[in-house]
Amino acid sequence: MNSVGIEDKSIFSNIYTHLFYSFQDNLFPIREFADTDRWRKEKTFEDFIRELFSQRTLDKILEAEKTGKKVYMGRLHSDSDINECFFCTDAFIIDTEELYIDASNAGW
């Protein structure tokens, strides 16, 4: 929680805790996710990521991989529970030194 600036005593800590558990249950190594995603079709990995997110996110992914960091990708589902549904209806980016989450493609 500290990685995203939420203090343990914050009134928002519960919803963010739930968000991170939702991520944990739905994340896969990014290359594995991209290789099996039905929307990728004939696109290269780079084009797939750039089209879903941005060049900046692609650059962050490639740099993280180059330095040996683990990179994951997944989806949240609006038909899950109210907390996960809430985050599905909004687009956001969390960018800290320890964590980068690009959910800019998440809003409907």
Domain ranges of the chain: 2-74
Instruction: Please determine, for residue 38, whether its predicted confidence score (pLDDT) is greater than 90.
Output: no
Question: Exposed, middle or buried by CB within 10 Å (0-12, 13-18, 19+), for 87?
Answer: buried
- Using pLDDT thresholds of 50, 70 and 90, give the confidence band for residue 78: confident
Q: In what helix (H) or strand (E) does residue 103 lie, and over which residues does it extend? A: strand 100-103
Question: What is the predicted pLDDT for the residue at 64?
Answer: 96
Q: Taking the model in full, what pTM does it have?
A: 0.76
Tell me the average pLDDT across 8-28: 81
Average pLDDT over residues 22-46: 89
| In the block, residue with structure tokens 């039905």 | 38
